[in-house]
Structure formats: structure tokens, C-alpha cells
Amino acid sequence: MTADTITAADIRINARWLIPMEPANVVLDHQAVLIQGERIAAVVSQEEADVHFRAKETIDLPDHVLLPGLINMHGHAAMSLFRGMADDLPLMTWLNDHIWPAEGAFVSESFIADGTQLAMAEMLRTGTTTFSDMYFFPEVVAQLARDAGMRAQVCFPLLDFPTPWGSGPEEYLAKGEEFIRQWQDDPFIMPAIGPHAPYTVSDDPLTKAVALSSATGTSIQIHLHETAFEVADALDRSGQRPIARMAELGVLGSTTQCVHMTQIDESDIELLKATGAQVIHCPESNLKLASGLSPVQKFREAGINVAIGTDGAASNNDLDLFGELGTAAMLAKVVADDAAALSAHEALAMATIRGAQALGRAHELGSLESGKLADIIAVDLSDPFLQPVYDPASHLVYSNQGRQVTHSWINGVPQVQEGRLTRIDVPDLMLRVRGWSDRIREQQTS
Ligand SMILES: CSC[C@H]1O[C@@H](n2cnc3c(O)ncnc32)[C@H](O)[C@@H]1O
Ligand SMILES: [Zn+2]
């Protein structure tokens, strides 16, 4: 570029620090990001931006760090309406005695719409720009995310038994196929297949899910090896570990995302490695339900991609990915018995570039680089509880909370400005949430 070349941009963001994620382990000072349309036109020093760019709008963030929008790779968004409803229980009691009855009583299109909006408001406000959802009425979730301008992988549910979304596997697969066809070319929505777990989906629908995935090029996301009970029960019934059954049925592959993955032996690691399957780590849900510990460091050493998710707000109990990263980093150290396991930069990678890899979208998401989609967040590090700043990456993981996020852009469009959501009517949403909590409380006490 010569000194007299001036490039036009829509938005220029000046920030004190910038963590691009690619290259890894780098923090840059006094950078400018130029956005043109939906993409990042350039990431350059502010001096260089002064010389070579003219932007229609400039935003100065003198105490902030810019990084790629966070990617929450596993959740059940509308379950935010069940937050705090059934705490301090192990997974199967939580599901059988509380969550599944409540879903049977309350899940409808309007429940999903209001619960998903509540979750999107929390995720946007705390720095998430892309989320993955596995829940009922995926067509409602996809439309809401689209309307809000959020990116989402939306997995249609697949189970052996009836739910408010369908009568059984045949209907889920038929509706799911139609759902995929409707959304597969959308720039924001990634339709996917969500077989719930090995203990709720039998071989025949799993085989059909694999065929649908191959025919449409869509990902599969499944809860796998979540608890010791799941693995022991499968061994008792069939002599086979759940992941070995998944491998035999063709479920494992590079477009398959295995959520939780606690209770791991060497043969499990070999299968993940051989198939290129993705691991989605949900540390806070695993801790709260006492499900188990995921050997994240072992996976990483084996070259297995590990991304991160919150799970639903009913088992976490929030959707703040920054908090999740702090938990993940600390837990990884204890599990590996190594304080060097999962550094702050490596944790941030799990919520950005590794999430993008799990989605098969690392060519356009997950880092701040020229040509990538403009999904960007800004975190204000000026608060007393974040002082002094030696290393912004350290603060983001070990000291920060998502509430410090002040700005975000998705596809170049502002979503959070000065800490406020631009596209969700929060007071109106709160009224609807209050309505649901009154009804749920009433049913629980009757
Ligand atoms: C197929 S729709 C999703 C289904 O999954 C339930 N669920 C939520 N969290 C978990 C979890 O950690 N393990 C297993 N199942 C979970 C949710 O309530 C829906 O019924
Ligand atoms: Zn889950």
C-alpha cells in the first residue's frame, strides 16, 4: 500500500489492546479495526489507520481490549426460564424428576420464543456472538436468532420418545430434514442434528441421523460420556462403552461434536483422534450436576479440538462464557495436576478459534483478521477490580466477568453499545419472563 492510497471503511474501532487469536498468544497495543460491510477490512496500528483509511464512523475505546466474538458451543437456550428451578441434583434425577416433567408441562412455541430471547440477551450482553442450541421448536429458535442478528448453530432434537415437538424419531427426522433444507443456505443459521444422548436414542434413528448428516453436510451434536452412570450402565447392558457404539454406528467424524466427555480412557481418546471428532467442554454444568471431570489437557495433547459451552442456564446457572473460561482454566490445572495446563490464551482460544473450528467455520470466524466476518467484542478493563493491567488476556480469563463487555458487532452490525442491547426490547422481555416464572412457580407449589 502506498502513502497516497486511502481505503474507505464503514466503521473504525480504536482500542487500547487487541487479541487477534490468530496468530496465537499475541496481545497488540493501540490497534484499529476497520469494518467494511460484514467483514473486517484490516487490523492495523492506529498510526497506519490514520494514513490509509477513512471511516464513516469512528469509535474510540481507550481502556478496552478487542477480541473475536465468543462462541458458546453448547446450550439449551430456552431453559433459561428454568434457571434456579431445580438445583443441587445429579443429572438423571434432575432430568427425570424435574426437567422433563417441566418441559412436558410448559414447552410450547411461545415458551421457546421467550426463553430463547432471554438467553440471547444474556449471551449478547456477556460477549457471545455465536451460540449452539439443542432444543425443541428449532424453527422458532432459528427465526429468533436471525431476527436478532445473532449467529447460531441450531440442532433439531432427536430422541426415542415423544416431546412437545413431536411423537418420536420418525417425526423428528422428517421435521428435521425440512428444517435443514429451509435454513442450510442462511448466512447466520447453521442447522444441525441433535441426537440427545446414547441412552435416549436407539441405533436405528442414530443411523438415519448419520445418513441425513452425510446427505446434507450438516453437523451432529450429542451429549456423550456425561456421567460415570452413563458409561457403567452402557457397559452393563451391552458390554460396550457409549463412544464405541457411536463409532460403530458411524456417528463419530470431524463434523460431530461430543458434548461433556468426562469418564475417559485411552480407547476413547484413540476413537476421538482417529475420527477427528470435536469435544465440547461444559465445565460448570459438569461441576454443578457432579457429572465428572473432563481431561481437557489430555485431549489437547492428543491433537483433539476442544471448544467450550455453558450448557443450559438450568444446570450452570448462567450463560456468561467469560466466567466459564475462568472455571475451565482452573479446573484443567487441577485435573492435569499441572498449573501450566490451559493458559489464559489457550482458554480464550477455546471460546473463539476452537469454537469456529468445531463449527467448520474457522476460515471466516474466530479471529480478528482481514477478510473474516466482523464478529467483534470490546471489554472495558478500566474498573478497579481489573487494575493494574499487566496482561489483558489474564484479566479476561481469571478476573473478568462478562458484564464488562461494552460493545459487540455481529456481521459488522452493532449489537451491544455502551453496555446496552440494540436489538432486544429488554423491559418487554422482562414482563414476559415474569409471566412464565409466575406460572412455573404456581405449578410447582400446587
Ligand atoms: C434433545 S432436546 C435437549 C434435551 O436435553 C436436556 N438436557 C439439558 N441439559 C442436559 C444435560 O446436561 N445432559 C442431558 N440432557 C440435558 C433438555 O432438558 C432437553 O430435554
Ligand atoms: Zn446439554
Structural domains counted in the chain: 2
Which cell numbers in the block locate residue 88?
443441587
Which cell numbers in the block locate residue 92?
438423571
Shared-domain flag, residues 62 and 77:
no
Q: What is the pTM of this model?
A: 0.98
The protein residue whose alpha carbon is closest to atom 2 in ligand 1 is 135
The reported pLDDT for the residue numbered 400 is 85
Q: Residues 246-258: pLDDT tens digits?
A: 999 999 999 999 9
Would you say the CB of residue 312 lies under 6 angstroms from ligand 1? yes
Shared-domain flag, residues 37 and 141:
no
Q: Give dist(CA 20, CA 3) in Å, integer.
A: 25
Average pLDDT, the chain: 97
Q: Residues 6 or more apart from 348 whose CB is under 8 A from it? A: 19, 21, 67, 325, 393, 396, 397
> What mean pLDDT comes out for the span 99-106?
97
Would you say the CB of residue 196 lies under 6 angstroms from ligand 1? yes
**Does 228 reside within a domain?**
yes
Half-sphere exposure of residue 97, counting CA atoms within 13 Å on the CB side?
A: 9
**Does 444 reside within a domain?**
no
Q: Residues 6 or more apart from 101 whose CB is under 8 A from it? A: none
**Does 435 reside within a domain?**
no
ipTM of the complex as predicted: 0.99
Q: Residues 301-325: pLDDT tens digits?
A: 999 999 999 999 999 999 999 999 9
8 A C-beta contact, residue 207 and residue 173: no
Shared-domain flag, residues 146 and 118:
yes
- Which residue's C-alpha cell is 483478521? 369
We report the CATH number of the domain holding residue 254 as: 3.20.20.140
* CA-291 nearest atom, ligand 1: 12
Q: Give dist(CA 138, CA 421) in Å, integer.
A: 23
Shared-domain flag, residues 393 and 405:
yes
Is residue 171 part of an annotated ligand binding site? no
2 has a pLDDT exceeding 80 = no
Which cell numbers in the block locate residue 260?
461433556
Q: Give dist(CA 376, CA 278) in Å, integer.
A: 24
Centroid of ligand 2 to alpha carbon of 52 (angstroms):
47
Shared-domain flag, residues 95 and 61:
no
Which cell numbers in the block locate residue 104?
412436558
Centroid of ligand 1 to alpha carbon of 188 (angstroms):
24
Shared-domain flag, residues 155 and 60:
no
Would you say the CB of residue 286 lies under 6 angstroms from ligand 1? no
Shared-domain flag, residues 120 and 267:
yes
Shared-domain flag, residues 179 and 196:
yes
Q: Residues 6 or more apart from 313 whose CB is under 8 A from it? A: 75, 79, 80, 82, 83, 119, 122, 319
* CA-282 nearest atom, ligand 1: 12
Shared-domain flag, residues 178 and 228:
yes
We report the CATH number of the domain holding residue 385 as: 2.30.40.10
Shared-domain flag, residues 318 and 179:
yes
Q: Give dist(CA 200, CA 89) in Å, integer.
A: 20
Q: With pLDDT > 70 as the criterion, what percentage of the chain qualifies?
A: 99
**Does 279 reside within a domain?**
yes
Inter-helix orientation angle 169-183/138-148, to 10°: 20
Q: Residues 153-200: pLDDT tens digits?
A: 999 999 999 999 999 999 999 999 999 999 999 999 999 999 999 999
Burial class (CB in 10 A: 0-12, 13-18, 19+), 62: exposed
Would you say the CB of residue 230 lies under 6 angstroms from ligand 1? no
Which cell numbers in the block locate residue 220?
451432529
Shared-domain flag, residues 121 and 220:
yes
The reported pLDDT for the residue numbered 4 is 67
**Does 445 reside within a domain?**
no
Would you say the CB of residue 74 lies under 6 angstroms from ligand 1? no
Tell whether the torsion through CA atoms of 194, 197, 201 and 206 is positive or negative: positive
The protein residue whose alpha carbon is closest to atom 18 in ligand 1 is 99
**Does 165 reside within a domain?**
yes
Centroid of ligand 1 to alpha carbon of 338 (angstroms):
32
Would you say the CB of residue 102 lies under 6 angstroms from ligand 1? no
Task: Collect residues with CB below 5 Å from ion ligand 2.
Answer: 311
Question: Angle at the Cα of 188 (from 187 to 192), degrees rounded to 5?
Answer: 100
The protein residue whose alpha carbon is closest to atom 3 in ligand 1 is 135
**Does 443 reside within a domain?**
no
Shared-domain flag, residues 29 and 119:
no
Among the listed residues 344, 373, 287, the one whose alpha carbon sits nearest the alpha carbon of residue 68 = 373
Q: Residues 399-438: pLDDT tens digits?
A: 988 999 999 999 999 999 999 999 999 999 999 999 999 9
Among the listed residues 255, 324, 253, 244, the one whose alpha carbon sits nearest the alpha carbon of residue 283 = 324
Q: Which ligand is closest to the CA of 310, given by its number?
A: 2
**Does 130 reside within a domain?**
yes
Q: Give dist(CA 15, CA 377) in Å, integer.
A: 11
> What mean pLDDT comes out for the span 286-297?
98
310: containing domain: 70-358
Is residue 76 part of an annotated ligand binding site? yes
Q: Give dist(CA 387, CA 395) in Å, integer.
A: 9
Q: Residues 6 or more apart from 428 whose CB is under 8 A from it? A: none
397 has a pLDDT exceeding 90 = yes
